[in-house]
A and B are shown apart, each in its own frame.
Chain A
Amino acid sequence: MDFDFSQEQRLLQETARSFFTQECSTKRVRELMATPTSSDDKLWSALTEQGWTGMTLSEEVGGLGFGLVDLCVVAEEMGRACLPGPFFSTYWAAALLENAGTPAQRKPLLEAIASGDKKSTVAWLEHGTDWKPESIAMTATTDGDNVLLTGRKVFVTDAASADVILVVVRQGKSWAVAPVPSNAKGLAIRDLVSMDETRKLSDVTLEEVTIKESQLLAVAKADDLQRANDIASVVLCAELVGVMQLLMEMSIEYAKSRQQFDKPIGSFQGVQHQCADMLLYTESSRSAAYYAAWALGTRDASASQAAAIAKAYCSEAGRLVGNHACQVHGGIGFTWEHDLHLYYKRTKLAEVLLGPPTFHRERIAAIILDT
């Protein structure tokens, strides 16, 4: 057993870190987040040239065939860089396709993701529902060779930049995924103004949006849908680890240089102890996130539980690290000019996206108490 990065993973980490230092300074982040999509072609094609949108996808569809742990190594660096735009949403879509429809149906969609041709996202939540597959109510009605989609999906991430939106619908006792082009007739995207400007949220309404029935990808089991969300959650957790690590480093640097009472503030225990807590939360999140990535990647029996644990833990830890970072910085950390808030807001959205800690704890409770 070896719970540590391999040589290759270390190299990947270095590559990713220098890539993002080059391509995604916080100056770039600020420029991009001010646009409606928080991304541009230049950054997207640089990302896709690395092959990262197809990192864990099979070579058959043009992917790199790496493991989920490898993807998380890169996702952690994305968090560290506060990467804006639709990488995460696109990967979530890829994870959803993994267990949807037939190989022939998925192939073109996955190819378009691996090559970077199509930015994608998942439309899951509906008004008043939660993240359980069972709570999805929207359906697809058959109309000859076509199916018609009518309804409203809420809080869709990166719909503003997506080329394809995977709309998850109910089909009797099972589910289906409808890949809808974002320019489809009858589809309306309303952008929402939200806290984290690096990751856009939208309302998506569908009014008799028509796709071929042969394009509808069937999903037989709730577990298959849950697995997609588990994978997305773990990618989000890895991102959070990068965010936490950066917030901690930022705080320690500041505490060493900022002087008050003729001493660096980092010599005061009230400050030191907050930094020590930040290390505890960051390292513990790292353990939880990478274990879950390994378990999901190898389809270990503990995978789903491990994902719930990671999401419950990292969500809370991210918030606490953000709060400590803000406190240690004093007034400067509260300014728009300082980069802290970019990361702070990232932790806050990640906390509730794909289910808040309460949601995941209830999943865990069901496993340990109801069996």
Chain B
Amino acid sequence: MDLNLSESELEFQQSLRNWLSKNCPKPWAGKQRGPDHINYLRDWQRTLYDGGWAGIHWPKEYGGRGATPIEQAIFQEEMARANAPEQISVIGLMIVGPTIIAVGTEEQKKRYLEKILSCEEIWCQGFSEPNAGSDLASLSTRAVEDGDHFVVNGQKIWTSFAHIADWCLLLARTNPNVPKHKGLTALLVDMHSPGVEAKPLRQMSGEADFNEVFFTNARVPKANVFGQINDGWTSAVATLMNERANLGSGLYVLSKKFFEGLVERAKEHLSASQSVTKDPIARQRIAQAFVELEVYRLNTLRALSKLSKMGMPGPEGSILKLFWSEMNQRTNQIAMEILGLEGQLKSVDDGKWVFNYLRCRANTIEGGTSEIMKNIIAQRVLGMPKSY
């Protein structure tokens, strides 16, 4: 066990630091999630790409840097240190891209990967349906062969960024006559093609990041089949694994920035005519949030160490998503306790506290609910008997 950075890791860190000191933009101060904010985030992604810092964990031949898992962790920590904005094309970079690299054909890799890195094309993930959430394999959107095309009919829901996306990784049923996991096919669907319509759904936070997506006789060329026909479940599982593994570590940045913002705000916030940071209970609560944040960081580092040695994360990897989502909810709760009525105001810090508090409710739902994560841990990691 040696937690010092190696020479090459230090070099990596230094060159990233140098680059960030010249290129990192000022933090976004306006309304969250409006078109201006989206453009700001797109520009940032493009800057990262131009500097060679987008998708660093991808292999070199596909425009990445072939960064090791540890370098990815360094990348995240440096992004947090520089207070850099989040990456808008996160679904492409973290979920769809790595799955294309693993499962896609050579033509697909050439066609899609570069444009994900440069943020020229934004992706969404069309898995969930009104009647297929946790039980994803029961989905009913149909894709029927018609010459050299598939014709798609059905509805997806909760599809994040579909309203700004150019492409969709879609999971559809191609064979209804076999057990539910066996008749699915993954398709790469052009969101601008006829018969595809995204309707934003307003979230409880007031923003509309996710959508309903309707497919009405949408035609998808067979060249866009992803993986094997009727073997879509394999691609779907690969995607979900990427989602849970990569989002897990990437989210550290957001949490760290959020925590630092909380400390700053708390120092200024008055309670009983003095800074709330003098209050013993507030001190305990803030310290607890920090303890959890640090432990989360360490869990991530351990999982990444295993990943670089074994090619897969150990049992500690399976807890990352669960840990992060529940931690983020607790930290947001602490923020609300500290800020009192001020935390209710959309005028304070451009509504950041209101937005984050509401948004974090979804953390234990999106990407697999906490209950599903615990089922997976119990049944697949701990080897307990299956209950369904």
Q: Which residues of A contact B (CB under 8 A)?
A: 1-6, 9, 69, 252, 255-256, 263-264, 266-269, 271-273, 275-277, 279-280, 283-284, 286-288, 290-291, 294-295, 298, 300, 306, 309, 312-313, 358, 361-362, 364-365, 368-370
Complex: how many Å from CA A1 to CA B319? 21
Specify which chain A residues have a CB less than 8 angstroms from the CB of B304 in the assembled complex: 3
Q: In the complex, what's the smallest C-beta–C-beta distance from B353 to chain A, in angstroms?
A: 19
Chain B 242-265 residues near chain A, CB threshold 8 A: 263
Q: Determine the chain B residues whose CB is within 8 A of the CB of A287 once the complex forms.
A: 295, 298-299, 301-302, 316
* CA–CA, A286 and B286, complex, Å: 22
Bound complex: CA A279 to CA B323 (Å): 11
Instruction: Please name all residues of chain B whose beta carbon is closer than 8 Å to the beta carbon of A300 when the two chains form the complex.
Output: 3
Contact A266 B385 (CB under 8 A): yes
Q: Which residues of B contact A268 (CB under 8 A)?
A: 387
Question: Contact at B295–A309, with CB atoms within 8 Å?
Answer: yes
Q: Are A267 and B287 in contact (CB under 8 A)?
A: no
Nearest to B300 among chain A residues (CB) is A287
Q: What are 17 A-B residue pairs whose CB atoms fall within 8 Å in the complex? A: A4-B305, A6-B1, A263-B385, A266-B385, A267-B387, A275-B378, A276-B377, A276-B382, A283-B315, A288-B295, A288-B298, A309-B290, A309-B294, A312-B288, A313-B291, A361-B288, A368-B286
A252, A273, A276, A368: the one within 8 Å of B290 (CB): A368
B contact residues vs A (CB 8 Å cutoff): 1-6, 9, 70, 263, 266-267, 277, 280, 283-284, 286-288, 290-292, 294-295, 298-299, 301-302, 304-306, 309, 315-316, 318-319, 322-323, 371, 373-375, 377-379, 381-387
CB-CB under 8 A from B315, the residues of chain A are 279, 283
Query: What residues of chain A lie closer than 8 Å to B6, measured between beta carbons?
Result: 1
For B318, the chain A residues whose CB sits under 8 A away are 279
Given contacts A1-B3, A276-B382, A369-B277, contact A291 B298 (CB under 8 A): yes
Q: How far apart sit A271 and B384, CA to CA, in the bound complex (Å)?
A: 10
- Would A4 and B287 count as touching, CB distance under 8 A? no
Interchain CB contact (< 8 A) of A361 among B283, B375, B378: B283
Q: Which residues of B contact A312 (CB under 8 A)?
A: 287-288, 291
Q: How far is the CA of A127 from the CA of B320 in the complex (A)?
A: 43
Residues of B near A290 (CB, < 8 A) are 1
Question: B270 → chain A, closest Cβ, in Å?
Answer: 15
Which 10 A-B pairs give the minimum distances between C-beta atoms? A272-B378, A361-B287, A287-B298, A365-B283, A276-B374, A276-B377, A267-B385, A364-B287, A3-B305, A266-B384
Q: Are B2 and A275 in contact (CB under 8 A)?
A: no
Q: Give B208 Cβ to nearest chain A Cβ, in Å.
A: 33
A71 to chain B, nearest CB (A): 12
B384–A255 CB distance below 8 A: yes
- Decide if A279 touches B284 in the complex (CB within 8 Å): no
Contact A273/B288 with A1-B70, A2-B2 known, Cβ cut-off 8 Å: no
Q: A residues within 8 A CB of B385?
A: 256, 263-264, 266-267
* Known contacts A256-B385, A365-B284, A368-B287; A294/B3 CB under 8 A: yes
Report the separation of the CA atoms of residues A3 and B253 in the bound assembly, to the nearest whole angstrom.
Answer: 20
B283 touches A279 (CB 8 A): no
Taking A3-B305, A365-B286 as known contacts, 6 extra A-B pairs with beta carbons closer than 8 A to each other, sorted by chain A number, are A4-B302, A266-B385, A280-B319, A288-B295, A298-B3, A364-B290
Q: Which B residues touch A280, using CB under 8 A?
A: 319, 322-323, 377
Contact B291 A4 (CB under 8 A): no
Which of A2, A286, A369 is in CB contact (< 8 Å) with B266? Answer: A369
In the bound complex, what is the Cα–Cα distance between A6 and B2 (angstroms)? 9
Measured between alpha carbons, how far is A369 from B266 in the docked complex, in Å? 9
Residues of chain B lying within 8 A (CB to CB) of residue A271: 384
Residues of B within 8 A of A264 (CB): 385
Bound-complex Cα distance A309 to B306 (A) = 23
Please, which residue of chain B has its CB at the minimum distance from the CB of A312? B291
Interchain CB contact under 8 A, A267 and B382: no
**Distance between Cα atoms of A298 and B3 in the complex (Å):** 10
- The interface residues of chain B lying within 8 Å CB-to-CB of A255 are 384
Q: Which residue of A lies closest to B288 (CB)?
A: A361
Q: How far does the alpha carbon of A255 sit from the alpha carbon of B384 in the complex, in Å? A: 8
User: If A1-B305, A269-B371, A273-B374 touch, does A252 touch B316 (CB 8 Å cutoff)?
Assistant: no
Once the chains bind, are B319 and A283 in contact (CB under 8 Å)?
Answer: yes
- Inter-subunit contact A283/B382 (CB<8 Å): no
Determine whether the beta carbon of B306 is less than 8 Å from that of A4: yes
| Minimum C-beta distance from A365 to chain B (A) | 4
The contact of A273 among B277, B280, B287, B378, by CB within 8 Å, is B378
> What residue in chain B is nearest A273 (Cβ atoms)?
B374
Chain B residue contacts of A1, Cβ below 8 A = 2-6, 9, 70, 301, 305
- Name the residue on B nearest A364 (C-beta): B287
* Closest beta carbon of chain B to A276's beta carbon, Å: 4
- Contact (Cβ within 8 A) B383 A269: no
Interchain CA distance A364-B277 in the complex, whole Å? 12
Contacts of A273 in B (CB 8 A): 371, 374-375, 378
Take A1-B70, A272-B387 as given contacts and tell me if A283 and B378 are in contact as well, using a CB distance cutoff of 8 Å: no
Chain B nearest CB, measured from A318 CB (Å) = 14
Contact A2 B305 (CB under 8 A): yes
- With A4-B305, A312-B287: A69-B1 Cβ-Cβ less than 8 Å: yes
Contact B284 A361 (CB under 8 A): yes
Q: Is B1 a contact partner of A275 (Cβ separation < 8 A)?
A: no
Q: How far is the CA of A300 from the CA of B2 in the complex (A)?
A: 12
Closest B-chain residue to A311, C-beta based? B291
Are B382 and A279 in touch, CB under 8 angstroms?
Answer: yes
Roughly how many angstroms separate A116 CA and B31 CA in the complex, as a whole number?
67
Chain B CB within 10 Å, residue with most, of A275, A283, A286, A290:
A283
| Cβ contacts under 8 Å, A291 to chain B | 3, 298
Interfacial chain A residues near B382, Cβ < 8 Å: 252, 275-276, 279
A21 to B319, CA, bound (A): 30
CA distance A369 to B267 in the complex (A): 8
Residue of A nearest to B373 (CB): A276
